[in-house]
Amino acid sequence: MSQNPIIRWERDDDGIVVLTIDDPNQRVNTMNAEFVDALEAALDRIETERDTVAGVVVTSGKDTFFAGGDLNDLRDATKDRIDEFAEFVDRNSALLRRLETIGRPVVAAVNGSALGGGLELALAAHHRVALDGPRNYVGLPEVTLGLLPGAGGVVRSVRMLGVERALSELLLQGQRRTVRSALELGIIDELVESKSELIVVSKKWILAHPEPVQPWDVKGYRIPGGAPGDRSEPLHSKLPAIPALLRKQSKGAHYPAPKNIVSAAVESAQVDFDNALRIEARYFLDLATGQVAKNMIQAFFFDMQSVNGARGRSADRTPWRASKAVVLGAGMMGAGIAYECARAGIDVVLKDVSVEAAERGKGYSHKLIDKQIAAGRTSSDKGDALLARITPTDRPEAAEGADLVIEAVFEDPAVKAQVLAEIEPYLAEGALIGSNTSTLPITGLAENVSRPEDFIGLHFFSPVDRMPLLEIIKGNKSSPDTLSRALDLAKQISKTPIVVNDSRGFFTSRVIGTFINEALALLGEGVPAATIEQASSQAGYPAPVLQLTDELNLELLRRVRDAAQRAAEEGGQTWVGHPAEVVLDRMLSEYGRAGRLAGAGFYEYDGNRKRTRLWTGLPDAFGGENTDLPFGDVVERLLFAEVIETVKCLDEGVLEAIPDANVGSILGIGFPGWTGGVLQFIDGYEGGVAGFVARAQYLAETYSERFTPPESLLQLAESGTTLARSRSAELVGTP
């Protein structure tokens, strides 16, 4: 047995070589330069010692098989270095091609997850054996980072599954499949129950198949479903619908990866294998050197890694875990929080003013479980066990001994104070006390409990079972231990946390308010409602802005506005009104249209509150004939309103770290993912910070001073650096 820093080589008595990938410098194996060098050396040795090699098993010395490309390398790829990067991509692709044509059977023994480059490596083997397990995934998720597979993933998956299935079931959505699901799809060939079987089964296959060849290397091989241009195959009639489907899914937003994936799949299916790889590489390089991929890699990998990390806490600390939670308020938010806690194995007391109301709240979990059982995602036994952990009640003493309370009642400080005072005597000593408020300052709410140091804001997003974000708000007296426990809770209930400091509206509610206000201001200026909706869709927001406003409810928005105005005036500040207020007040007071719950808002609704069309009275109410504004200006007014407000949050100390802003904006308030988040949008803007500042000044001069860039950005533009480099990347944690 000989050693290599990255790939260990071991040959048995049958001549089968096991190549174990185990990069000593990384937690997971990645397709970096060191791996490529090691793979080339291993292939050289196989060819040199061909007469003594009966076959090859490729496996991993880590819990994960292979994690894919090194995202640090991909983030640094630029168009002015494209030749250098292309050389690396071509070399990597050529090595995998060499592996599958080396003249000996090759088996991928997939001992954990194989995502991205990991699956590409496995697809280059002649046979794939995977360790079964619900947490072992395979897939090609590159599209979620603004990329496409660049080491043969498109070419091989198309030849295995056909153009249509490869696109829909693997490439365009970037699905992560369990290995069992991958077996059904056909990209995994065998499953084993234990690691000890993995190599044994792999070697057995090699001995039974001494001279394998990839199907696509057999003369006359036809791609399943046919190649583009073959009128006799089913693909011919389906192919024209694919671009239309892409346009429908993207709504015109700036996501180039799906287009490149379709182009690579269709074009590569019409040529020989080696030219197919060249086509794939060309489309990959176009994305990898573009700004969108850099934005998405920053947000969805590096920033996500940061917010989910230790955040300044000791890595060897024992995480705190809640065992019994009390959720105060069984409305939609409280019911969703109760479900999430119960799903995490926490016993939950769901309290409301009456048992009937609490039972209705538990009914929300019943409905979710019933849907999961019907879809085959859970069993009746598991569903019953989850429901058994939720106890609906109207009795505060049912909270006896709880180590966690989450208040989720009406946004009224007096109501919140009442329910917390009622429950606090029954809590365990030092229990974590959280308030699910979206706007009310946490420091003020903390005055209503006897232990303000244990009090913290826990802002969930609706619907709680589907929204992944948890905004944690530190009050002035929240202790470091309380923050640490809140972060532990987020992990326990599988939420992505961001941490912000206290202020009215915190970060997410404050910033999304500027988005809605800008849309209402545009409407008040006579811009057609349909144009505003189309602009927000093409910007990349998940829901058109007026539709979102109806869902949030105009009455709630007015209450939040009025509360903010009172607080400002009581604090001796002059309230500066926004043009949106006129539209909001007229919609409610003059037209009685409060949104979807009221059955009438910016949209019309049928008897079941199903949205039908934009309210036909909007042109009479607000004009709708102002078509002079350039469409790009409408789009950027929506985006810039949120970005500039976020910079103010950063300047004021509401935000302490850029990753919190980027992740929170995408996961919590739907800021377009292609931008990389509200602050990455500035660094990724054409011309960088200086380009953003110039555009903001144009918007301020043309439309409103609210687009005036903050002084901090003006200084940054002069310095020539990026926002990310100018601020510490260390996240809020505990001292």
- What positions carry a catalytic annotation? 459
How far is residue 1 CA from its own chain's centroid?
A: 43
**Nearest residue to 418 via CA among 451, 445, 457, 390:** 445
Asked if 244 and 138 touch (Cβ cutoff 8 Å), the reply is no
- Residue tagged 């700004």 (tokens): 291
Query: What's the rounded Cα separation, in Å, for the pair 442 and 444?
Result: 5
Strand 190-192 relative to strand 432-435, pairing: unpaired
**Residue 710: exposure state from Cβ atoms within 10 A (0-12, 13-18, ≥19):** middle
Query: Length of the chain in residues, anyone?
Result: 735
Which tokens belong to 72? 């640090």
Query: What's the rounded Cα separation, in Å, for the pair 328 and 337?
Result: 10
Query: What's the rounded Cα separation, in Å, for the pair 96 and 214?
Result: 12
Q: Please state, as a whole number, how many other Cβ atoms lie within 10 Å of the Cβ of residue 616.
A: 8
CA distances from 376 to 137, 176, 372, 467, 513 (A): 18, 17, 6, 22, 39
Query: What's the rounded Cα separation, in Å, for the pair 471 and 628?
Result: 39
Query: What's the rounded Cα separation, in Å, for the pair 603 and 549?
Result: 10
Peptide linkage before 463 cis (omega within 30 of 0): yes
> Long-range contact list for 509-514, CB < 8 A, 24+ apart?
509/438, 509/439, 509/459, 509/560, 510/645, 510/649, 510/654, 511/642, 511/645, 511/646, 511/649, 511/665, 511/669, 511/678, 512/642, 512/669, 512/670, 513/557, 513/560, 514/641, 514/642, 514/644, 514/645
